[in-house]
Chain A
């Protein structure tokens, strides 16, 4: 009957498993055993059920599935004998957890066992209940547990007390039922009952304010007395650990006193004496003693203020901090963190020691110390602390650098006393750990740089120097590229030289070298390369002598596989080749970026920024390359910012693009529809689209030309960095967007005011694009203009387009403009569709299409499904 006394088979199995030389051998043994156990389960074998379950538990620990044994636990629990129940409950706790339905089946057995005459069986049931009970079971069995709190045997009372903790955590409503019996336990002498009673009261007080009030009023004195008796008790071998009587009980008592003293001056007052005694008298050369001290300090820092006690507490922490034991130093750092809010000055005294801990070889200690240093920094000590941290950055381990860099950047930007210091520190960080710097950090740096007008020259020269030594740090490269693009002339001419600088000679071609290196180094990602292209374009106008060379570099990217780079290269090349007259105005220096708006923006877009940092190179080609994106971004911006004061469109464009072009933009700014594909500017501004669109465009442009408007700062940067997919505010930079829109994208003209047009279907022979519009006041209905283009060199005749939609949509097709589709894109067929979405806002449009036509008299059929409709149609 006993599961193990005769159970050599369990031993045999364990031996066989241990004897296995390979994982495969072990699996074979386990498989054989499991098969035998399953067979026994199927035969409903009684004699070996307990032994089989024991084996299953061992197999479970090895990580094999054992769910088939769950019912066996229940059967064993239901059997009458203690040995079966014992192993059954153990199996229950190991193989099941509270979320399994099977567990509900055991409630009844538990109830019976809680009322059993054998106290050990009651103990087993309490143990299982305390470890895995669910909320339903807690509700069902709470009365039994409550009754057992008064059981004659103390060993049952203590188990019932801990069970009650589980119950009130699962069902907080039940808390008040336990208040009286819980406080009664605090008067017990038996340590087991006392410690569990104290824990139950602590949890009650956390859950129910009523209980807190009750315990505070009735029990504070009792607890203080108990703690005093315990602290002064003579040596008792049963509970002694390293010369202290029952440190566990000490700690639990201190914890409960903390809960009672928090926010209550009277209760705090009554415990002051005993806390002072524990803090001074406890031996601190063993773990147990230190654990008590640590808890005591925590209580002193949390209860209502008593100056003398706090000094005592911080002093003990100081002693902890200088301890050679890493564990003690760790908890000291942990505790100082909490003490900072109570007494920052006292903690500052330990600054030097804490700083040493940042350089510890132990990752856990480093992490704690760094967090502590971070909260200790203020305006007065930021310079030395930042210097220490940056010096340490050079030698720190790689897996710590991310944390450290983030903290340094945050400290430096929060407390920097002057801009030049900020820029210096940031450049150091970028050169040391630029690969760990987050996007928003270097965005912020650029904002600061543009605002520090008198430091432009200094900064670009410092960056140039840093680039020579640390060209492998991505974000350093980006900032350098950006600054050389903007301030390249200051670099070459040594403008704005400060006294502290060493003179440096940089030729125009040196500056272009930097960009060429940046764009050609193969670690550079898309963002960096794209930024380098923009910078090159800018330099081409600033350094006429290098213009030819720059053009050659740009031309190399015309065939780049990255669509974004290819597009930029083609656009820039055509600016260089065909539009010399507007180039210099196009690439003028960026207006000063507004810091306040940037900070606001940053706060708003942090989650998005986080996601872009994780996958910049993956996200961008998909998100950014769509021709429709810039315009959408523009529209987004105009909707969530107050429109800037808008003067007439003609004036704005006049400002932006220069005098010689004013006639054309004036015409376009008025919003006249124009289909001319040759006029560059019209394309640039997407004016071909309906009037609504052009008005939004005007808003944006007006805000950008002001340069101080709310829209521009971050957007300028993010459009440069291209990491804008998640930030909905991307792409408002005046130059960039104009150029984005400049690409030879045919669908561009069809951009609707609200929804981007899509290429609904494309095969080697045919392209179908949809553009969308809605009637005002009728959001469910969408008008779709379908445009068919023949991509082959043969005319299609008898052209018929058919479409089908699911039931929640209604479709109405107008006749097509023609049934003949000219070859090679020389004209197109258009057809209007009207779709009504009865599930508007819930479901997206979807459509199946079939296109039939005759090609050289032969019937041809093309079919497809359109799933890429814009959302919210």
Chain B
């Protein structure tokens, strides 16, 4: 099971945190501090796994961002690495060659996409196409709601004219 997902920039700034196990706010910031210093200090050629407090943290760097997933000791590390890659590819397709700025200004979208891939710390959907289709369908709902609201307000505006 995955316990949490972290996105950390090379400067140590947090770009996304997703917790599947209960960590108090205090523990969360401690975990982030500990892990970012440990992971950011590792050299480029080393393996992508860090053993930490009886868990495994699998991380991978994409450009300026480190994607980290903390999972159980006996989980398949190589699979976790593939999950990270799968998420990154999905983001890439959604944003069209994603960069850190996309994830800063649209952080909520990064969360929504992650929520379509992982749930309860497990893999939910392995097809990127399905994931993106679901995201698109929900965005259509948003648009519809927006239009309804604007037409509603124009009706109100007309009525009160």
Contact = CB atoms under 8 A, between A and B. Distances in A.
Contacts of A166: 120
Interface of A: 1-2, 4-5, 11, 14, 18, 54, 57-58, 61-63, 65, 67, 81-83, 86-87, 90, 93-94, 97-99, 118, 120, 123, 126-127, 130-132, 155, 158-159, 162-163, 165-166, 191-192, 195-196, 199, 238-239, 241, 246-249, 251-252, 255, 287-288, 290-291, 294-295, 298, 326-331, 334, 361-365, 367
Contact of A327 (B25, B78, B105): B78
B126 A99 contact: no
A192 B126 contact: yes
B47 interface: yes
Nearest to B81: A287
Nearest to B47: A326
B154 interface: no
A287 B111 CA distance: 25
A197 B143 CA distance: 33
A130 B129 CA distance: 23
15 contacts: A1-B146, A1-B148, A5-B142, A63-B14, A65-B25, A90-B112, A192-B126, A192-B130, A196-B122, A251-B79, A255-B76, A295-B79, A326-B46, A328-B78, A331-B78
Given A61-B14, A165-B120, A239-B126, A18 B104 contact: yes
Given A192-B126, A364-B49, A159 B81 contact: no
Contacts of A239: 126-127
Interface string B23-56: 1110001001000000000010111111100000
Given A127-B115, A192-B124, A326-B45, A90 B138 contact: no
A225 to B, nearest CB: 19
Q: State which size class the interface on B falls in.
A: 35 or more
B155 to A, nearest CB: 14
A90 B111 contact: yes
Given A165-B120, A331-B77, A367 B51 contact: yes
Which 10 pairs from chain A and chain B are nearest by CB? Answer: A291-B78, A326-B47, A1-B149, A130-B120, A362-B46, A162-B119, A2-B146, A166-B120, A162-B120, A291-B79
Given A2-B142, A130-B120, A361 B46 contact: yes
A11 B77 contact: no
B130 A159 contact: no
B145 A82 contact: yes
B51 A131 contact: no
Given A93-B115, A94-B18, A241-B82, 5 more contacts: A58-B107, A63-B14, A82-B142, A99-B22, A364-B49
Contacts of B130: 155, 192, 238
Interface in B82-134: 82-83, 85-86, 104-105, 107-108, 111-112, 115, 119-120, 122-130, 134
Nearest to A4: B108
Contact of B14 (A62, A81, A364): A62
B10 interface: no
Contacts of B146: 1-2, 5, 83
Contacts of B112: 86, 90
B76 A238 contact: no
B127 A99 contact: no
